[in-house]
């Protein structure tokens, strides 16, 4: 059965929102001529009058649409293609039924062969895998020496000159397929620059450098062990090894995660917070949705990473308001907030119902203690992130001298503050939202809050940064 050409499909494939608007304008201007479709509507083709006459087609017979246009914009979809899809949605009756051109059917056949080959289990090139693993193992030995040199010389000696040398050395790790380890080296080097760590004092910056050095040492030791076992036994399905592989720099494919069985069926996700920021170390723009699974309250990270050098050629991730049901979601290896991904066109959005908010409040943790225990367990592992996000029930939010205190059902408190290196400030917004919701009194019930736990650099006390507040059926985003 072909995919349905609708607004959801247009939004799913579009790289930029502006391209959709430009395509809609083309449709309104009557730019589309000689519009045709097959009997089953699985193939559309036409001409579009631009600076010249372009030929374009959209084939929706497979799992993903095949889009082609003779204009110079690559990769598709361009405004001409999106406009044609929108033109079809609004004027499907004007598309004449016809036999498809031979060249388009030939391209469909080639695409079907590619899809069939992609679905087959790939043969492992044992020699190539062994060669790559040995290169990674040798590079970890070099990283071990680098870490020991840094530890013996003292992090206080890492000046701009040494930081620049660390950046150069990190390129060797990238060349040896250790991209994640290379990023970790660059993060440590960047902390030598006072301007790069704006918002923290020298003592806190030094503590961050120590944390990063400890993380590098863990990458060395755990990476060496994992690679040695791989050289002896071949590929592993061990979850802890999968975490190490990702930290070393492995880019998991959805198909690989499915093969490992790291998948959940029919998950219902509700986005509570969205963040967008540039990561100068990775040279990427990070677009991050914090989504809650309505059946059990798990908080996942739906992440899109776009190379800064190709922002105009990569699809921008948008925040979403609806509940999204995913028939098959791939779950990455990791810690508290695992990354979740799905095939582009699998998501099925639906409007939020009153019962969804009731489910959200029901799955929120009633006490701070279990979340705190999970966070402390996570940060014991030097490879783990320094933060974790939880959904908590709110008994009340009260103003205190140091910020705002979250009070749970048992009366326990969590201090809400913005981290020194926060990507954005939210505590002020939380105070305003709490004041408006409580109208000067206790917070109404039910009330839940999405909180990022983080560790203080001076006293190592655990604090929380509010990302979103949900009061009854009102979702209040507190950040971007």
Give the tens place of pLDDT for each residue, 257-299.
888 889 999 999 999 999 999 999 999 999 999 999 999 999 9
Residue 376 in tokens: 């402390």
Query: Two tokens at 422?
Result: 């926060």
Residue 16, pLDDT score: 84
- Of 376, 373, 464, 385, which Cα lies nearest the Cα of 211? 385
Tell me how far apart the alpha carbons of residues 185 and 164 are, in angstroms, rounded to a whole number: 11
Strand segments (E) across 211-347 = 263-279, 284-293, 299-307, 323-331, 340-341
Q: What DSSP character marks residue 365?
A: B
Strands 396-400 and 462-471 come out as: unpaired
Residues 112, 200, single domain; the answer is no
Give the confidence band of 124 by pLDDT, cuts at 50, 70, 90: low
* Residues in contact with 135: Cβ distance below 8 Å, sequence separation at least 6, in sequence order: 176, 177
Do 159 and 270 have their domain in common?
no
Both 154 and 242 in a single domain?
yes
Note whether residue 176 is domain-resident: yes
> Are 262 and 321 in a shared domain?
yes
Mean pLDDT of the chain: 91
Domain-located, residue 2: no
In the structure, what pLDDT confidence band is assigned to residue 86 with cuts at 50, 70 and 90? very high
Tokens of 200: 């923290």
Give the confidence band of 402 by pLDDT, cuts at 50, 70, 90: confident
Residues 212, 152 share a domain: yes
Query: Each residue of 440-449: pLDDT tens digit?
Result: 788 999 999 9
Highest mean pLDDT among 11-15, 269-273, 423-427: 269-273
Q: Are residues 217 and 259 in the same domain?
A: no
- Residue 186: helix, strand or coil by DSSP? helix
Structural domain contains residue 143: yes
Residues 104 and 132 in one domain: no
111/185 same-domain check: no
Mean pLDDT of 373-389: 94
Predicted confidence (pLDDT) per residue in 164-192, tens digit: 999 999 999 999 999 999 999 999 999 88
Domain containing 259 — which CATH number?
Answer: 2.40.50
Locus of tokens 């093969």: 259
pLDDT at 295: 96
Evaluate whether residue 76 is within a structural domain: yes
Assigned domain for 198 exists: yes
Dist CA 475 CA 26 (whole Å):
37
- Residues paired with residue 323 on neighbouring β-strands, in sequence order: 270, 350
103 and 133: one domain? no
Please check whether residue 466 lies inside any domain of the structure: yes
Both 70 and 133 in one domain: the answer is no
* Longest Cα separation, the chain: 76
What pLDDT, in 10s, does the model give residues 206-244? 899 999 999 999 999 999 998 888 887 765 556 677 888
Contact indicator for 279, 286 with CB cutoff of 8 Å: yes
- Mark whether 177 and 67 lie in a shared domain: no
Tell whether 35 is covered by a domain.
yes
Q: From CA 257, how far away is CA 263, in angstroms rounded?
A: 7
Residue 229 host element (H or E): helix 202-233
The enclosing H or E element of 453 equals strand 447-455
Kindly report, residue by residue over 462-471, the tens digit of the pLDDT: 999 999 999 9
Examine the fold and report which residue of 332, 362, 392 is the final residue of a domain before the chain moves on: 362
H/E run at residue 112: helix 102-119
Does residue 302 fall inside a structural domain? yes
- The CA R_g of the chain, rounded to the nearest whole Å, is 26
Query: Helix (H, G, I), strand (E, B), or coil: what is residue 296?
Result: coil
Please give the torsion angle defined by the CA atoms of residues 350, 351, 353 and 359, in that order, rounded to the nearest 10 degrees: 60
Query: What pTM was estimated for this model as a whole?
Result: 0.87
Q: Choose the final residue of a domain: 300, 332, 362.
A: 362
Kindly state whether residues 349 and 368 are assigned to the same domain.
no
- Choose the final residue of a domain: 343, 362, 381: 362
Domains: count for the chain: 4
In 3D space, the residue among 255, 317, 314, 310 whose CA is nearest the CA of residue 289 turns out to be: 317
Residue 403, domain extent: 364-477
């Amino acid at each position: 059965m072909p995919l349905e050409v609708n607004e959801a499909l247009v939004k799913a494939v579009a790289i930029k929102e502006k391209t959709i608007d430009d395509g809609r304008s083309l449709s309104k201007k009557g730019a589309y001529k000689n519009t045709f479709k097959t009997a089953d509507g699985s193939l559309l083709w036409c001409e579009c009058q631009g600076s010249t006459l372009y030929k374009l087609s959209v084939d929706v017979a497979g799992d993903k649409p095949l889009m082609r246009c003779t204009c110079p914009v690559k990769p598709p979809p361009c405004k001409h293609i999106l406009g044609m899809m929108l033109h079809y949605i609004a004027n499907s009756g004007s598309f004449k039924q016809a036999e498809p051109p031979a060249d388009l059917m030939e391209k469909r056949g080639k695409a079907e062969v590619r899809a069939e080959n992609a679905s087959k289990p790939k043969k492992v090139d044992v020699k190539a895998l062994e060669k790559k693993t040995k290169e990674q193992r040798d590079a970890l030995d070099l990283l071990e020496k680098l870490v020991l040199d840094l530890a013996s010389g003292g992090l206080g000696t890492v000046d701009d000159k040494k930081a620049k040398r660390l950046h150069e050395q990190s390129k060797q790790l990238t060349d040896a397929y250790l991209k994640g380890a290379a990023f970790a080296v660059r993060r440590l080097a960047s902390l030598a620059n006072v301007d790069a760590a704006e918002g923290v004092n020298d003592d806190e910056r030094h503590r961050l450098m120590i944390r990063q050095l400890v993380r590098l040492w863990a990458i060395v030791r755990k990476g060496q062990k994992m690679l040695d076992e791989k050289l002896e036994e071949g590929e592993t399905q061990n979850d802890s090894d999968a975490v190490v592989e990702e930290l070393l720099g492995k880019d998991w494919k959805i198909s690989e995660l499915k093969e490992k069985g790291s998948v959940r069926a029919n998950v219902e996700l509700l986005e509570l917070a969205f963040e967008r920021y540039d990561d100068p170390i990775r040279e990427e723009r990070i677009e991050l949705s914090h989504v809650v699974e309505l059946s059990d309250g798990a908080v996942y990270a739906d992440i899109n990473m776009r190379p800064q050098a190709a922002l105009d050629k990569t699809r921008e991730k948008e925040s979403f308001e609806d509940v999204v049901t995913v028939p098959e979601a791939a779950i990455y290896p990791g810690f508290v907030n695992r990354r979740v991904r799905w095939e582009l066109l699998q998501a099925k959005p639906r409007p939020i119902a009153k019962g969804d908010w009731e489910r959200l409040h029901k799955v929120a943790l009633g006490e701070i203690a279990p979340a705190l225990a999970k966070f402390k367990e996570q940060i014991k592992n030097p490879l783990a992130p320094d933060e974790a996000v939880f959904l908590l029930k709110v008994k009340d939010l009260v103003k205190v001298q140091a910020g705002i205190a979250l009070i749970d059902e048992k009366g326990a408190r969590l201090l809400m503050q913005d981290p020194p290196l926060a990507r954005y400030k939210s505590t002020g917004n939380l105070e305003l939202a709490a004041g408006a919701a409580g109208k000067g009194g206790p917070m109404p019930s039910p009330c839940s809050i999405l909180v990022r736990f983080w560790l203080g650099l001076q006293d190592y006390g655990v604090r929380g940064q509010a990302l979103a507040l949900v009061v009854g059926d009102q979702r209040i985003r507190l950040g971007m």
